[in-house]
Amino acid sequence: MAIKKLLIANRGEIAVRIVRAAQGLGIPTVQVHSMADANSLAVRMADEAVDIGPPHAAKSYLNIDNLLEAARKTGADAIHPGYGFLSENAKFAQAVEDAGLIFVGPRPETISRLGDKAAAREAAKQAGVPTVPGSEGVLSGADEAKAAASEIGYPVMIKAAAGGGGRGIKIAENETELAKLVAEARNEAQAAFGDNALYMEKVIRDARHIEVQVLGDGTDAVHCFERECSLQRRRQKVWEEAPSAALTEDQRQAICESAVALAKSVGYRGAGTLEFLFDDRSGAHYFIEMNTRIQVEHPVTEMVTGIDLVQEMIRICGGEPLRLKQADITLSGHAIECRINAEDPSNNFMPGPGVIGKLGVPEADHVRFDTLLYEGYQVPPFYDSLLGKLIVHGPDRAGAIERMAAALEGLTIEGLKTTIPLHKVLAASDAVRANAVHTQFLEPWLAEHPIAPE
Ligand code: ADP
Ligand code: ADP
Ligand code: MG
């Protein structure tokens, strides 16, 4: 049941990435777009384009009926959801299957089980994977929250079971704060995710974010090693690397084995990522969540393993068994990705749309720029601010940082403010060069090292 025509239910740089992957496999593509995206690069590159509605995502990219109608009209037999939007929506995956189409992702049951972050913790425990000390399942109310917190020890994190994108997370330092924050978190989770379920975790201070890429075909699963994404702002990743320079070989093996154990225990299909916190001091890793989709930072893994993750997920979901054996997957060198956003790092990361003037992209074998931009393109104001991802590969971490510094010098995006100046400062900083970072490092550091306007 190989895929004959692929519809891309997404936009931006990931839509471009998926069109390229499909082209490489000889699969024709259908790019859906909102009215605001009629001139997007993905629309220009795809074989066909279908207008699915007004700019507001709820009326277009999140409109399941319109997406299925676009597939019916064009004869597409498979849908790739990308990341964000409907990519982790079990109802959408089910509707795609009910329409007789292939969903390029896990089975709907797997998404339900792992997409609920409290349920995913239980699945991890059952697979013998260490989780952050925290509540058993979701919190019924303020009393249970209090009891759980006094057992775990403050500070604690209150998280929305349906949360994502760094949102829906609050830290309580003591019992007085807890009651207030639980009530607030419940209201906010209901408004943001349509689901008010909460759970609790101990705050692991100054930990690193290390995540493991997996591929599964429903029967077998392999890992493609790890990425480190400890440089974060508002719990969103800013700079990502593969592999993590913080792990010993034994620690690498342990965290990757945990990931495969969970992937196998749920019969995972497609590409997925298991996120962990890693504590340098003890060497322990703790599962936090699984993203049941392709991730923004997947290219650093592609650079160090030579695997095209998007092509692999398309092949697997089209019915092919996993082609890769664990022993065939090896690491070579070091890769870094910088997220280039339409935000002004010298002005509190204020987002701002604009029209792209001159676009200068560094060209070298070891550099990749995944982007939605072209000269003259008007960046619409309705969607997230990611303009592109600059990715470099080097022989080792120090070499990759040098190449990133050079690549950033060679990247010119005129017409709007971008986060390029932030990345130049990071690439030159002692802390990044020494890899002396953790998930709470960047925000206070930025307060002390303000980014000058360019
Ligand atoms: P990654 O680990 O791939 O970087 P992120 O958590 O940064 O993933 O999310 C990728 C994209 O998906 C971002 O644009 C983010 O805003 C969006 N996203 C993730 N989860 C959700 C969610 N539950 N609701 C809405 N958007 C989400
Ligand atoms: P999301 O679904 O929004 O991606 P995650 O649960 O993956 O949320 O957490 C996002 C980030 O928040 C992590 O990368 C880390 O920086 C921080 N974080 C999450 N859980 C904890 C914890 N228990 N202790 C400390 N930091 C945490
Ligand atoms: Mg996460």
Does residue 275 have its Cβ closer than 6 Å to ligand 2?
A: yes
Measuring from atom 12 of ligand 1, which residue has the nearest CA?
84
Q: Counting atoms of ligand 2 from 1, which one is nearest the CA of 204?
A: 24
Cβ(234) to ligand 1 under 6 A? no
Question: Does the structure show a pLDDT above 60 at 192?
Answer: yes
What is the torsion angle, in degrees rounded to the nearest 10, for the CA atoms of residue 30, residue 34, residue 40 and residue 42? Answer: -20
Q: Which fold has domain 6-104?
A: Rossmann fold (3.40.50)
Residue closest by Cα to atom 20 of ligand 2: 288
Ligand in closest contact with the CA of 286:
2
Compute the residue count for the chain. Answer: 454
Residue 2 pLDDT greater than 70, yes or no:
yes
- Ligand 1, atom 26: closest residue by C-alpha: 84
Number of the ligand closest to the Cα of 386:
1
Average pLDDT over residues 179-191: 95
Question: Is 0.85 surpassed by the pTM of this model?
Answer: yes
Q: What positions carry a catalytic annotation?
A: 293
Ligand 1 pocket test, pick from 235, 236, 296, 313 with the greatest ligand atom count within 8 Å of Cβ, gives 296
Q: Is the dihedral of CA 57, 113, 5, 100 positive or negative?
A: negative
Residue of 241, 424, 208, 423 lying closest to 334 (CA atoms): 241
Identify each DSSP E strand in 44-168 by its residue range: 48-51, 78-80, 102-103, 156-160
CB distance 153 to ligand 2 below 6 Å = no
- The ligand that comes nearest to the alpha carbon of residue 232 is 2
User: In the chain, what are the domain boundaries?
Assistant: 6-104, 133-202, 208-448
pLDDT given at position 122: 97
φ, ψ of residue 328 to 5 degrees: the values are -80, -15
Condensed to tens digits (0 to 9), the pLDDT of residues 127-179 reads 999 999 999 999 998 999 999 999 999 999 999 999 999 998 999 999 999 99
**CB distance 28 to ligand 1 below 6 Å:** no
- The mean pLDDT value for 387-400 works out to 98
**Given this chain, do its domains 6-104 and 133-202 carry the same CATH topology?**
no
The string of pLDDT tens digits covering residues 337-385 is: 999 999 999 999 999 989 999 999 999 999 999 999 999 999 999 999 9
Is the pLDDT confidence value at 393 over 90? yes
- Distance (Å, rounded) from C-alpha 94 to C-alpha 112? 10
384 lines ligand 1 (CB under 6 A): yes
Residue 450 is classified by DSSP as P
Q: What is the pLDDT of residue 353?
A: 87
pLDDT in tens, 234-252: 999 999 999 999 999 999 9
Q: Say which CATH superfamily domain 208-448 falls into.
A: ATP-grasp fold, B domain (3.30.470.20)
Please provide the DSSP assignment of 203-268 as one string.
--TT-EEEEEEEEEESS-EEEEEEEEEEEEETTEEEEEEES-TT--HHHHHHHHHHHHHHHHHTT-
What φ, ψ does residue 228 adopt, rounded to 5°? Answer: -110, 130
152 pocket-lining for ligand 2 (C-beta < 6 Å): no
Structure tokens belonging to residue 450: 């303000």
Structure tokens at 139: 């919190």
CATH superfamily of 133-202: ATP-grasp fold, A domain (3.30.1490.20)
d(CA 454, ligand 1 centre) in Å: 29
- Ligand 1, atom 20, lies closest to the CA of 164
Q: What type of residue is 265?
A: S
Q: Between these two residues, 70 and 454, which has the higher pLDDT value?
A: 70
Q: What is the mean pLDDT of residues 17-27?
A: 98
pLDDT at 1: 57
User: DSSP label at 326?
Assistant: G
